[in-house]
Amino acid sequence: MIAFIARRLVGAIPTLILISLFVFTLQKLLPGDPILAMAGEERDPAVIALLHEKYHLDQPIPIQYIRWVGGLLQGDFGMSLRTEQPVTTLVASKLPVTLELAALALIIALAIGIPAGIIAALRKGTALDYGANIVALSGISIPHFWLGILLIMLFSVKLKWLPASGFVPLFDDPVQNFKTLILPAFVVGVGLAGTLMRHTRGAMLSVLGTDYVRTARAKGLMPRSVVLKHAFRNALMPIVTLTTLLFGEMLGGAVLTEQVFSIPGFGKMIVDAVFNRDYAVVQGVVLCVAVGFVLLNLLADVLYRVINPRLRTAS
């Protein structure tokens, strides 16, 4: 297993290099100069030249890229052009917030989507199946910002059970932290639950018709054992793949939800950095998301081998 993980990590290096080169080059080709905004209204040429030299923007793009990669190898993601803070510090302050939101949303999605998908597959063609599909499609179709506003109006304004916005760190107040995250996590989790339900239903339907499931039923095994031990375990492969990809998407895709609930997370920082043309922050954030996807795909491959012993034997 260790050798397999090492091979996958080495194989991911070219992918990360291509992603960094692609993002760095495209960003430099965009029109406009962020230094002009930093130089003030007068835009003194001497100040502009000094700022270009300070941030090494007066050098050719290949040299800038090499300097940036050299800093990455030393753990230095550069400095923000707007706040003049290290990008590493900004990422370290925002990423845990989004990770916590994504983890809670994923728990909600798994708790709703997988049982609903299994029930819909076992009751194919019944009212339960149609009802689960309608709810799943509704969860996928409803815009996050609209659902978030409705939940704020109900639970915050009318019932006054939960705060409408804001964020409290976990270690400062765990209870208040949960109260500030449960609504945005539910908003994100409902959409993910619909997607998980549809994929779980499809995977279960393809497995329930196989010979080994029919044989298990013919042997007189308990229905719960047939469904969970024989059918669901073999249907887990596409579900694991989808779950890891959905978690990766949430790292940078929960922008609207974070805006509605004023969550100071990773997605909001990405949007602000793009609008402000903060090159160093955008580059660092995109690279972190890319690394996250690589690690999540590696986690999925490891889980495949845990779920299916035949893959361990083949490797």
Q: What pLDDT, on a 0 to 100 scale, did the predictor assign at position 234?
A: 79
Given a contact cutoff of 8 angstroms between Cβ atoms, the answer to whether 168 and 264 are in contact is no
Query: Is 206 a domain residue?
Result: yes
User: In terms of domains, do 138 and 23 share one?
Assistant: no
Q: What pLDDT, on a 0 to 100 scale, did the predictor assign at position 41?
A: 63
Q: What's 135's domain CATH number?
A: 1.10.3720.10
Given a contact cutoff of 8 angstroms between Cβ atoms, the answer to whether 66 and 73 are in contact is no
User: In terms of domains, do 297 and 220 share one?
Assistant: no
User: In terms of domains, do 58 and 106 share one?
Assistant: no
In the chain (315 residues long), the average pLDDT of successive 10-residue segments reads: 78 83 75 66 74 76 84 82 83 87 91 91 88 86 85 89 86 89 90 89 85 79 78 82 84 76 82 78 82 83 74 56
User: In terms of domains, do 197 and 252 share one?
Assistant: yes
Q: Two tokens at 74?
A: 């030393």
Q: Residue 128 belongs to what domain range?
A: 94-271
DSSP output for the chain: -HHHHHHHHHHHHHHHHHHHHHHHHHHHHSSS-HHHHHT-SS--HHHHHHHHHHTTTTS-HHHHHHHHHHHHHTT---B-TTT--BHHHHHHHHHHHHHHHHHHHHHHHHHHHHHHHHHHHHTTTSHHHHHHHHHHHHHHHS-HHHHHHHHIIIIIIIS--S-SS----TTT-HHHHHHHHHHHHHHHHHHHHHHHHHHHHHHHHHHHTSHHHHHHHHTT--HHHIIIIIIIHHHHHHHHHHHHHHHHHHHHH-HHHHHHTT---HHHHHHHHHHTT-HHHHHHHHHHHHHHHHHHHHHHHHHHHHH-HHHHHH-
Query: Is 88 a domain residue?
Result: no
User: In terms of domains, do 188 and 245 share one?
Assistant: yes
User: In terms of domains, do 115 and 17 share one?
Assistant: no
The span from the CA of 156 to the CA of 162, in Å, is 5
Query: Is 46 a domain residue?
Result: yes
User: In terms of domains, do 127 and 189 share one?
Assistant: yes
Q: Two tokens at 224?
A: 């719960």
Q: What pLDDT, on a 0 to 100 scale, did the predictor assign at position 186?
A: 92
- Reported as half-sphere exposure (CB side, CA atoms, 13 A), residue 250 has a value of 30
User: In terms of domains, do 123 and 237 share one?
Assistant: yes
The tally of domains found in the chain comes to 2
User: In terms of domains, do 29 and 45 share one?
Assistant: yes
The span from the CA of 300 to the CA of 120, in Å, is 25
Q: What pLDDT, on a 0 to 100 scale, did the predictor assign at position 178?
A: 92
Q: Which residue has the tokens 């939940």?
A: 151
pTM of the predicted model over 0.85: no
Cβ burial of 193 (10 Å; 0-12, 13-18, 19+) is buried
User: In terms of domains, do 8 and 119 share one?
Assistant: no
